[in-house]
Amino acid sequence: MTLTIPGFDYIRLPGADGVELAAAVGGSGSPVVLLHGFPQTHLMWRHVAERLAGEHTVICPDLRGYGASDKPAATDPDVYAKRAMAADVVTLAAALGHERFALVGHDRGALVAFRAGLDHPETITHLGILDIVPTLDMWDVLHGTSAAVGYHLFLMAQPPGLPEAMIAGSADAFFGSFFDAWADDPAAVPEDVRAEYLRASAAAVMSIVADYRASAGIDVTHDQADLDAGSQLAMPVTVVQQDWGAQLGYDAAGVWKAWAPDLDHRLTRAGHFMAEEAPDEITAVIRGLLAR
C-alpha cells in the first residue's frame, strides 16, 4: 500500500516544460511549499506537514525525477538543472493559485529552493534550507579524506552509463546505506517508510543520477554566474544544519551569509533526516521563519 500524509489530497499538477509533478496538498492559510531530499519523496515531510496544516496551505511535491512525478530523459543538461526544477515548483504553485509562497527544502530539495530564491525573488517570500551549502560551495568544502562522506556526489558526477549501472545493480543496498549512515535516530525512518523510499528510488535511478550529474555541471555554472553578478537572496532565509563546518573545516554560517544577508543560521543535534528525526524542532524553525 502506498503511504500518504493523512488528511492531504493527492493531485498531479503542471511543472515547467510539460513535466507533471505529483503533490500532496493540505491545510489552509498562507502557502508553504516543502521540497524533499535524497533518497526520499514528499513523505519525509509527513510529520511537519501535518503540524503546519493547521495554519497554512502546505504543498509537498515529489521533485522532478523522484517519487510519483514525471522522470523526463536527460536529453541535455538543462533537464535536471536546479533552474528547471525550481521553475517546476513556481509553476506548480501558480496552478494552485499561489503567485507568492514560502519555500522550505531539505537536501536536494534545498538546492532547488536555493535556485528558486535566486531566480524568482518576487515569488519566494521566505526561504528555509535544511542541511546543505549551495552547490558551488559544496564542491569547495569537500577536500581530502573528509570528502569521503560525499562519495556519492563524485560517483554520480561521472559520465552517463557506469554510475547508473552500478547503482541499479544494487539499488536497495546503495540507497539504504544513506539511511544507515545519516540517521542519528534510525527509528525515525520506520521500515514501511524506508521500504517506500527504496522502492521509489530504485524506480528512479536514471533521473536521480541525472539530478546529481547536473550539480557537477550546469548547476555550478549557474551558481558561478550569480556569484560573479553579486546576486543574493532577497528574502528572509533560515538555514538549519548539522555541524558540517566543524567536520569539514569551513565556516558554514559565513558561507551562507555571503548569499543571504537576512540570515538566521542554526545548528541541530538531529541527524541529516531532521524533519523526521526532530519534527517539532523543524516545525518551530519554519514557524519562526514565517514570522520574520
Going from N- to C-terminal start, the domains of the chain cover 8-290
Q: Is the pLDDT at 1 greater than 60, yes or no?
A: no
Would you place residue 205 in the very low, low, confident or very high pLDDT band (cuts 50, 70, 90)?
very high
Measured distance CA(171)–CA(201) in Å, rounded: 8
C-alpha cell at 292: 520574520
For residues 209 and 215, give the distance between their C-alpha atoms in angstroms, rounded to a whole number: 10
Residue with cell 543571504: 260
pTM check: above 0.85: yes
Catalytic member of 47, 56, 265, 272 = 272
280 is catalytic: no
- Tens digit of pLDDT for each residue in 93-146? 999 999 999 999 999 999 999 999 999 999 999 999 999 999 999 999 998 888
Write b or e for each residue in 55-88: b if 16 or more Cβ atoms lie within 10 A of its Cβ, otherwise e: ebbbbbbbbbbbbbbbbbebeeeebbbbbbbbbb
269, pLDDT greater than 60: yes
What are 220-246's pLDDT values in tens digits? 999 999 999 999 999 999 999 999 888
Query: What mean pLDDT value characterizes the chain?
Result: 96
| Fold of the CATH domain 8-290 | Rossmann fold (3.40.50)
Tell the residue number behind the cell numbers 500518504, with chain if given: 4
Q: Catalytic residue at 137?
A: no
**Residue pair 263/147 in contact by the 8 Å Cβ criterion:** no
| pLDDT at residue 146, as a whole number | 85
pLDDT tens sequence across 26-44: 999 999 999 999 999 999 9
For residue 23, list its beta bridge partners: 11, 61
Quick one: which of 248, 242, 216, 243 has its CA closest to 82?
216
pLDDT band (50, 70, 90) for residue 147? confident
Catalytic residue among 62, 107, 137, 211: 107
* pLDDT confidence of residue 183: 94
What stretch of H or E contains 210?
A: helix 205-214
